[in-house]
Amino acid sequence: MTVLDTRTLNRATLARQLLLDRADLPVRDAVAHLCGLQAQEPQEPFVGLWSRLRAFDAAALSDLLTGRRLVRTILMRRTVHLLTAEDALAWRARHDAMLRQRMLGTYRRELDGVDLDELAAAGRAVLADGEPRSMGDLGRAVAGRWPAAGARVLGEMLVAALIPMAQLPPRGLWRTKAGVRNAPLSSWLGREPDPPAQNGSDPVGEALVRRYLAAYGPAASADLRAWCGLAGLPAAVAAVRPELVSFRDERGRELLDLPDAPRPDPDTPAPVRFLPAFDNAILGYHDRGRIIDDAHRGLSVAGARVVLVDGRVGATWTVEDGTVMVTPLGRLSGGDRDAVGEQGRALAAFLSDGDSHRVRIGDG
């Protein structure tokens, strides 16, 4: 079985994630290809798409949110993702059990004695008036029935697990600060989420395997599980395995992939790319060694914005008074500093509508 070294996996990931060459794709198609973007920080997807699309227009993303073609919702790993409306409706039921289990893993003691089906019904009754609500408002509205659980826990259980919800604009719009207002996914998108399969098959799980490999492969089953949070996908992997090709990584793990997906030459040049906080190009794997050194792995879960240099995390970045501030994680060559500076100036211009082209690079 062919062994794929770390650099080969890196270039494959960059190609799948639209980070090797900026793509000429409409925003919605890019979000669909990427299987959504992690989006608990509302402005971060704009940078993620700017780094991936050749002619990204921030207003186009805002228009897709207000036009209900993209939606912000809690799904993979119980985190907020920006998804196409179609994927949110198709995938939600397959994630229901995981969302409940993760919530109970955190709040089992507080929710002891609470019938979750009754809680869901009570939440839906409150929402039946069509008014969007914050998590706290919804929890307080039902807390009288379960006072021991507490309004905060009840509201989080309803919004994060029991009722498929959309986070409504203006939250998530370009350069807009707004609190979270939740409405049922069905009312916002005009229909109920697709029901789970009834015949023991798992078409959604199989689709997730194919879609994940198209955007993240080659990858191990553990990587797939780390991306979506679903433990129950071995049967789906087995069902699609005849369609796939197999490799091994340098640790000996089996990696699965779509046969015709891009696997570029490992010597393919990788341009500098600025990534937002919690970008799935890093978080979408159990073994993140293809893109970030173990010594810096903590950055990926701490919300640090990172810079890819030669395809790997080589710096972090922030913005201060319109200046993109870059902090290298090691010594950058002169050529790399120039490339980081060029992309940093372009990012500063994007974030400021051309008012600033300032970038400052610290010492490694």
Amino acid making up residue 54? R
- 3-state DSSP assignment of residue 136: helix
- Which helix (H) or strand (E) segment holds residue 313: the answer is strand 312-320
Instruction: Report the pLDDT value the prediction gives residue 178, as an integer from 0 to 100.
Output: 95
Measured CA distances, 154 to 61, 145, 196 (Å): 32, 10, 25
> How long is the chain?
364
State yes or no: pLDDT of 199 exceeds 90. no
CB-CB contact of 95 with 75 (8 Å): yes
Which of 308, 261, 252 has its CA nearest to residue 282?
308
214-271: pLDDT as tens digits = 999 999 999 999 999 999 899 999 999 999 999 999 999 999 999 999 999 999 999 9
The CB-based long-range contact list for 109-114 (8 Å cut-off, 24+ gap) reads 110/148, 110/149, 110/150, 110/153, 111/149, 111/153, 111/157, 113/146, 113/148, 114/146, 114/149, 114/154
Instruction: Report the pLDDT value the prediction gives residue 200, as an integer from 0 to 100.
Output: 84
